[in-house]
Amino acid sequence: MITVQGNYFKIDTKKSTYLFKVNPLGILEHIYYGKAIPNEKDYSFLEEGEGCGYGVMMKNDRYLAYLDHLSQECSFKGRGDTRELLLQIDCSGDLECEFLYEGHEILHDFEIPGLPNANHKEETLAIYLKDKAKKLTLCLYYSTYPGTDVITRSSSLKNDSGKKIRINRLLSSQIDFDEDEFILKTFGGTWAKESVLQKRTLQHGVTKIGSNNGHSSCIHSPFVVLEKPDCSLTSGGCYGFNLIYSGNHAGYFERNNLHKVRFLNGINDDSFSWDLSDGESFFAPEATLCYSSEGERELTHQYHRFVREHIVRGEWQYKDHPVLINDWEALTFNFTEEKLVALARRGKELGCELFVLDDGWFGKRNSDNTSLGDWHANLAKLPNGIGSLADKIHEMGLLFGLWFEPEMVSRDSDLYRAHPEFALTHKDYEPLESRNQLVLDLANPVVVDYLIENVGNAIAEAKCDYVKWDCNRVISDYLSPSTLNQGETLHRYALGLYRFLGAIMKRFPHVLFESCAAGGERVDLGMLCYMPSFWASDDTEPFEREKIQESLLMCYPQSCIGAHVSASPNHQTLRESQIEDRFNVACIGAFGYELDPNELSDVDTKSMCEQIAWYKQNRHLLAFGDYYKISSIVEDCRGQFVIVSPDQKEAIYFVGNKTFELYSPQAFLKPVHLDPDAVYEVEERQQNFDFYQVHGRVKNDKRTLTGPDWQEKLKDVECLKSEKQVASALGASLMNAGMRLDYEWGSGRLPKRLMLDYSTRIYKIKKK
Ligand code: GLA
């Protein structure tokens, strides 16, 4: 809810308040962002008021302000604020400006043109600030959303000066905090090791977290968390910030000697500038802000609601994803139609619902050297064409999906031979290749128009039910002939990409799209406005994946996270793992298999079959239930979380161990958010062990083996069943005391649970 009261602007969500005012100079003073406060007649008890201190001041006969000290809603060069700034412009060499309050409006159905927007806004407050001398208008937007504490901010600049000006920076959001003790949590990484949690105490000076390779990147994620030092999972204050944008982003955290912290985020200006002609406006992407006074768990809860309700859209918003089987890790480029059909058929027999043909199906693509851009069947491998394969798959009763990398071109391709000017290259230098490919110039509308038609027709011809939209390299050589100013290219690329995606989504409203960028190189809220899920990482080894997913889950709901069971040993880490652990980790996401089921052992085949059956019964809860972290696989001795249905009727509880340890601490199942007064039944999902995989561990000490199924059978059977713990208790007992999980092998007690390195378990909790 947005309340305008005299000079005050108050933005309330259920549990948070954001407050600022126009001061007598016309400067927007930030007053407060934190736990909800009631409406007051005035907020002078909380305001900074007139300033005094070292530095230059702005004053009139009513007021005096040191902008270098003052908490503000926006900042610009020239009026004494020497901190990092929201706006930096260049008007023919003049860098200074002065934006003062001019007016405001409450807007309904506000949308930023050309960029993805959070939808179903409640209302938007637009504040107009004018530089009268330069005839420029800066507008700040604040939007609220039903059902979540997340708010969004954005900004725009309109030029009425009669001449061209250059924007060197226009960020989306600014918050000046009147406190400086913060822990900053960020998520950085690299290919196959995305989303590694980094924690630091905010120090004096500027900390910048940003990407510079054309994508939101896995190097530094745009999602960041700023916590008070006493913040924990369940108590204390924390802020979560993100950006609805897929290009270069930056978050600045400036801590000064006056016990203030300024936070800014938006498009990274390192490789950005924008020439704005008279009469034109430039819009910054939407930034998301959320405050939780109840610790990180509540922050996550609010973000999940926001992403589900206001970011993901279309037919697949709440629809169960089909269980997919993808051929990539099984066959890579080495397939024939027969092999694909055999793989799909086996997948179908075991319960899969969607067959995805990954890279290698088009042009002359038998390696990653060639053919990106030629989106027609590779007839050497698919002599009957892609439509015929799609028919065969459909006849089996499976959905059919294809891999595309629409933003790329191989130099060895018909597209590049016909249109070398479609690729981003620099006129003075040899273009840089990555994975033997160049990036198409999506800053150029002609290229985007071509792609909308060409890729769209390929999707139609292949009768796709699903598309994996990949993007396997970062952007370099971004001197587009379509713009005179190289500083514009990467943002124009993002705008071109969004136009491309918008057109494709409009043409194929029923197709399920999944975003991928060499794994998790473009995981952001911008892409999620078009596609309901992203491929989180090319690392599907369960322990590594558990860590990646735990970080992602801080902001993104389970349904958004693409997760597959792949073969063992894992392709990236070479670590061996049990198929059941692979499943337990993958099943919480947009789920599938990425292996050849014809090559599985009998035990693993049985497991796969049982897994799919169990998954189908629980998939809506797994994907769309409310996720609550209990403990961290990164920071605690084991990772645990619970996913609870909104009506509290059922839940799934996950436990994941780290490396096997003798005498490891007792594990308890201790869910949250159940109905305290209802009786629940807990039932462990029983797992299969492949005797030959665990035999080495247990054969030497049969005396300590107990448990119903595996003590006497070691020599005789291949398939050992795990324990299957069941219990019944009131929600309050489970939540307050917890359920004791069976002792683990090596715990010094008679063990019932064989927990190997990185072992996992899943429990279903159901109201009686
Ligand atoms: C990327 C993706 C993989 C796979 C390959 C195909 O690396 O992340 O899942 O699709 O491309 O080349």
b/e for 289-304, b at 16 or more Cβ within 10 A? bbbbbbbbbbbbbbbb
Tokens 């005789």 locate to 716
Interval between CA 284 and ligand 1 midpoint (Å):
31
Identity of the highest mean pLDDT range in 517-526, 682-691, 721-730: 517-526
Catalytic residue at 538?
yes
pLDDT digits (tens, 9 = 90+) for 180-213: 999 999 999 999 999 999 999 999 999 999 999 9
Residue 403 beta carbon below 6 angstroms from any ligand 1 atom? yes
Decide: 229 and 238 in contact? Cβ < 8 Å.
no
Question: Tell me: the pLDDT tens digits for 7-63?
Answer: 999 999 999 999 999 999 999 999 999 999 999 999 999 999 887 777 899 999 999
Catalytic residue among 327, 470, 690, 742: 470
* CA–CA dist 422, 438 (Å, integer): 10
Length of the chain (residues)? 768
Residue 475: other Cβ atoms inside 10 A = 25
Taking the whole predicted model, whether its pTM rises above 0.85 is answered as: yes
**Order of strands, sheet of 626-631, starting from the edge strand that comes earlier in the sequence:** 626-631, 638-644, 650-657, 760-767, 679-684, 726-730
Q: Is residue 540 in contact with ligand 1, taking CB distance under 6 Å?
A: no
- The answer to whether the CB of 522 falls within 8 A of the CB of 498 is no
With 0-12 / 13-18 / 19 or more C-beta atoms within 10 angstroms meaning exposed / middle / buried, residue 206 is: middle
Q: Do 343 and 331 form a contact (C-beta atoms < 8 A)?
A: yes
The CA-based angle 201-206-209, given to 5 degrees, is 80
Mean per-residue pLDDT of the chain: 95
Q: How far is the CA of 519 from the centre of ligand 1 (A)?
A: 7
Read off the pLDDT of each residue in 752-768 and give the average, rounded to a whole number: 93
What DSSP designation does 323 have? P
Q: How many helices (H) and strands (E) does the chain have?
A: 13, 43
The torsion angle over the Cα atoms of residues 366, 369, 372 and 377, rounded to 10 degrees, is: -20
Instruction: Judge if the beta carbon of residue 328 lies within 6 A of ligand 1.
Output: yes
Single-letter amino acid, residue 554 = M
**Is 470 a catalytic site residue?**
yes
Q: Residue 580: helix, strand or coil by DSSP?
A: helix
Quote the CA–CA distance of 759 and 124 in Å, as a whole number. Answer: 48
First to last CA, the chain: 39
Phi-psi region of 55 (alpha: psi -120 to 50; beta: other; left: phi over 0): left
- What separation in Å is there between the alpha carbon of 328 and the centre of ligand 1? 7
Measured between alpha carbons, how far is 332 from 672 in angstroms, rounded to an integer? 43
The predicted-structure confidence for 48-107, as pLDDT tens digits, reads as follows 988 777 789 999 999 999 999 999 999 999 999 999 999 999 999 999 999 999 999 999
Radius of gyration (C-alpha) of the chain in whole angstroms: 28
* Cβ 539 under 6 angstroms from ligand 1: no
